[in-house]
Chain A
Amino acid sequence: MTDQTPLVRIEGLSKHFGKVVALDNLTLDIARGEFVTFLGPSGCGKSTTLRILGGFERPTSGRVILDGEDVTSQPPEKRNVNMVFQDYALFPHMTVAQNVAFGLELKGMNKSAIRRRSDEIMSFLELESYAARYPVQLSGGQRQRVALARALAPDPSLLLLDEPLGALDAKLRGQVQQELKSIQRRTNKTFFFVTHDQEEALTMSDRIVVMNKGKVEQDGTPEELYFRPASRFVAEFIGETNLLSGRMRGTEGDKVVMDWEGTTLLGKAPAGLPAKGEPITASVRLEKLGFSVERPQTANAVQGRVVGRTFLGSRMAMQIAVGEGNALLKAYVDAETGRSVGTDPVWIGWEADNMAVLNN
């Protein structure tokens, strides 16, 4: 897209429900054609943000700018934004075709244009053979696609999706995730997706906004969030990780030196440097820890003893007691290596770039 101005500008958005602060001064830009995911635990304000964007809720303060126009006080029917609801909200007394045509009719299109557009979108989502069915006669996955078709038909500039896969079983979910992502790519539409499932967010998004208690915790690509979490909350919320609690010792180049269980470790520095001697936490992913009998050449190396293992098919999760035995590390190794490790002390090594020192 040639247009570089953001599609959506959220400026200082706050929403209070009585004493509950659902959103606290949220500021955010969404670029055109982006697949943005709002991720966070239950009650962190994801749906509230979406509902404000859709026009179903008025913010307590702040503005929403859509395509350069302030839409904060516009009712939903005036906005060129459509929503896929968590319960799909298909109209039960209308067929699939009538559901899809609903938004087109209200745009004042003529009959043949409506026909053409709804046929186009239904064939795009492979729904032609269900056109004459009623929503009760469809499976969960089919309903989900009808909801998507209905929302896409009027050609909105922004599509809002509030946990649209929550009602699907695990297997179908994975399949629909891929489908959604590919639909987004092919239509080149801006998708604003809400979920509390971190795996889903990592799979589908160009960009993830992690929310906590009405505030943005971190905003970045899935890789950034996964390998360079900005806070303990993000590190714990996304994927499984080892959290090491130690003390700040100093810096070495752009790295932080940290005291942990009687050794010194090197890690990537956080945005604001903690003072010397302060307690700090570092995060290192399970798959970044390497096993060896000899001391490895990595920047960080500690010796420990395997105290537990869990067989996971192609790989094994190992628990290693380190130092005096009161610190536990978890690591993934391939099943072969996992079986060969005995009760003798082993070396665990990892690179400084794979450990993020966090602001608590």
Chain B
Amino acid sequence: MNDRPELFRGNRIFLACVYWAFVLYVFVPLILMVVMGFKDSKFIGFPIRSWTLDWYTGVFADAEVLSTFGYSTAIAVLSTLISVFVGIWIAVMLEGRRFWGRTAVFGMTVLPALVPGIISAIAFRIYARWLGIEPGMGAIVWAHAVHNVPFVVLVVMARLSTLPRSQIEAARDLGADPLISFIRITLPYLVPAILGASIFCLLLSFDDFVRSFFLGGYEPTLPVLIFAKLRSGMSPEINAIATIALILTAAIGIWAERFTRRMNKET
């Protein structure tokens, strides 16, 4: 009994070290990236002799960056709307029901999330050409939507499985047909899940490089633009763009997480 606490303490210290090493490993590159965006020099690297905000003002003055940002946002919003609509539909069809081929449908639904990005991007490219879909916004939206549907399905199914059967029965009992009870009872119950899934889809789409690269036309999305800029040489402007994107996505992610958690608590 006596040497147990010692053992525990040793373990605890070891675990704490591993944890902090991991945190450093993850955050140091991010911190470096942010810091370099304020460096008053064209070359990335230490030492930093003087600081500037020029790179940031440059970003906001750069029409190309701004329009790309808008383009990426539009793609994210459109693909998310499609994923959410299709995802809810599939989730409702699958959850709590037994029918022949259910497992197969479920497997096929989840598959796009598991296929490596590069493979699905090439597959989409070939398929799009075969169907005669021009590279560009439509193709990218389509690929993002298909890729994101599984996340919507999984999140919505998880929430649906906790909806007490008596809720729907009570609605039916009071005179609601299946459609009305879905709209008035099931959908409101799903709101936290739908919101969470939407934010996740928005971020996934905004962040995607591979599919956007393979299916894009002449207009680049933000990650594709950053990639193009990188090829013409690393400059702190890229750090500034990346930092802004980082702050925006982190803010949205944190807000969404807190919001859905609060909503979950309320119901």
How far is A82 from B177 in the complex, measured between Cα atoms in Å? 15
- Does B170 make an interface contact (CB < 8 A)? yes
How far is A89 from B170 in the complex, measured between Cα atoms in Å? 6
The answer on a CB contact under 8 Å between B267 and A106 is no
How far is A13 from B266 in the complex, measured between Cα atoms in Å? 42
The answer on a CB contact under 8 Å between B177 and A77 is yes
The answer on a CB contact under 8 Å between A92 and B267 is yes
The answer on a CB contact under 8 Å between B175 and A103 is yes
Given A82-B174, A154-B175 in contact, is the A91-B169 Cβ separation under 8 Å?
Answer: no
- Does B189 make an interface contact (CB < 8 A)? yes
Bitwise, A63-91 to B at CB < 8 A (1) or not (0) is: 00000000000011100011101110111
Q: Which of A54, A83, A89, A106 contacts B164 (CB 8 A)?
A: A89
The answer on a CB contact under 8 Å between A77 and B170 is no
Query: Which residues of B lie under 8 Å from residue A151 when comparing CB positions?
Result: 173-174
- Does B70 make an interface contact (CB < 8 A)? no
- Does B172 make an interface contact (CB < 8 A)? yes
Question: Nearest B residue to A54 by beta-carbon distance?
Answer: B173
Bitwise, A94-121 to B at CB < 8 A (1) or not (0) is: 0000000011001100000000000000
Q: Name the distance in Å between B206's Cβ and chain A's nearest Cβ.
A: 30
Give the size range of A's interface with the partner.
20 to 34
The answer on a CB contact under 8 Å between B172 and A77 is yes
Bitwise, B111-131 to A at CB < 8 A (1) or not (0) is: 000000000000000000000
The answer on a CB contact under 8 Å between B185 and A77 is no
- Does A307 make an interface contact (CB < 8 A)? no
- Does A138 make an interface contact (CB < 8 A)? no
Bitwise, A132-152 to B at CB < 8 A (1) or not (0) is: 000010000000000000110
How far is A66 from B266 in the complex, measured between Cα atoms in Å? 39
- Does A56 make an interface contact (CB < 8 A)? yes
- Does A93 make an interface contact (CB < 8 A)? yes
The answer on a CB contact under 8 Å between A89 and B169 is yes
Bitwise, B160-171 to A at CB < 8 A (1) or not (0) is: 000010110111
Given A89-B166, A89-B167, A91-B167 in contact, is the A83-B173 Cβ separation under 8 Å?
Answer: yes
Question: Nearest B residue to A103 by beta-carbon distance?
Answer: B174
Q: Name the distance in Å between B20's Cβ and chain A's nearest Cβ.
A: 40
How far is A350 from B29 in the complex, measured between Cα atoms in Å? 93
Question: Nearest B residue to A102 by beta-carbon distance?
Answer: B174
Q: Which of A81, A85, A93 contacts B169 (CB 8 A)?
A: A85
Given A89-B164, A93-B188 in contact, is the A82-B176 Cβ separation under 8 Å?
Answer: no
How far is A302 from B170 in the complex, measured between Cα atoms in Å? 57
Q: Which of A56, A75, A92, A106 contacts B174 (CB 8 A)?
A: A106
Query: Which residues of A lie under 8 Å from residue B175 when comparing CB positions?
Result: 77, 103, 106-107, 154
Query: Which residues of B lie under 8 Å from residue A87 when comparing CB positions?
Result: 164, 166
The answer on a CB contact under 8 Å between B173 and A77 is yes
The answer on a CB contact under 8 Å between A76 and B172 is yes
Query: Which residues of B lie under 8 Å from residue A106 when comparing CB positions?
Result: 174-176, 180
Q: Name the distance in Å between A147's Cβ and chain B's nearest Cβ.
A: 9
Which of B166, B173, B189, B266 has the most chain A CB atoms closer than 10 A to its own CB?
B173
The answer on a CB contact under 8 Å between B166 and A85 is yes
Question: Nearest B residue to A162 by beta-carbon distance?
Answer: B166
Query: Which residues of B lie under 8 Å from residue A136 when comparing CB positions?
Result: 266-267
Query: Which residues of B lie under 8 Å from residue A82 when comparing CB positions?
Result: 173-174
How far is A54 from B185 in the complex, measured between Cα atoms in Å? 19
Q: Name the distance in Å between A6's Cβ and chain B's nearest Cβ.
A: 22
Question: Nearest A residue to B166 by beta-carbon distance?
Answer: A89
Question: Nearest A residue to B170 by beta-carbon distance?
Answer: A89
Q: Name the distance in Å between B86's Cβ and chain A's nearest Cβ.
A: 24
How far is A82 from B169 in the complex, measured between Cα atoms in Å? 10
The answer on a CB contact under 8 Å between A83 and B170 is yes
Bitwise, B213-231 to A at CB < 8 A (1) or not (0) is: 0000000000000000000
Bitwise, B243-266 to A at CB < 8 A (1) or not (0) is: 000000000000000000000001
The answer on a CB contact under 8 Å between A77 and B176 is yes
How far is A275 from B185 in the complex, measured between Cα atoms in Å? 62
Q: Which of B164, B169, B185, B267 contacts A76 (CB 8 A)?
A: B169
Which of B169, B175, B267 has the most chain A CB atoms closer than 10 A to its own CB?
B175
How far is A56 from B184 in the complex, measured between Cα atoms in Å? 19
Query: Which residues of A lie under 8 Å from residue B266 when comparing CB positions?
Result: 92, 136
Query: Which residues of A lie under 8 Å from residue B164 when comparing CB positions?
Result: 87, 89
How far is A22 from B172 in the complex, measured between Cα atoms in Å? 24
Which of A56, A86, A89 has the most chain B CB atoms closer than 10 A to its own CB?
A89
- Apart from the given pairs A76-B169, A106-B180, 4 other A-B contacts in the complex at a CB distance below 8 Å: A75-B177, A89-B167, A91-B185, A92-B266
Query: B-contacting residues of A (Cβ < 8 Å)?
Result: 54-56, 75-77, 81-83, 85-87, 89-93, 102-103, 106-107, 136, 150-151, 154
Among all A-B residue pairs, the 8 with the closest Cβ atoms: A106-B175, A103-B174, A89-B166, A89-B170, A76-B172, A93-B188, A92-B267, A85-B166
Instruction: Provide a sorted-by-A list of 8 A–B residue pairs whose CB atoms are within 8 angstroms.
Output: A54-B169, A55-B172, A77-B177, A81-B173, A82-B174, A91-B185, A103-B174, A136-B267
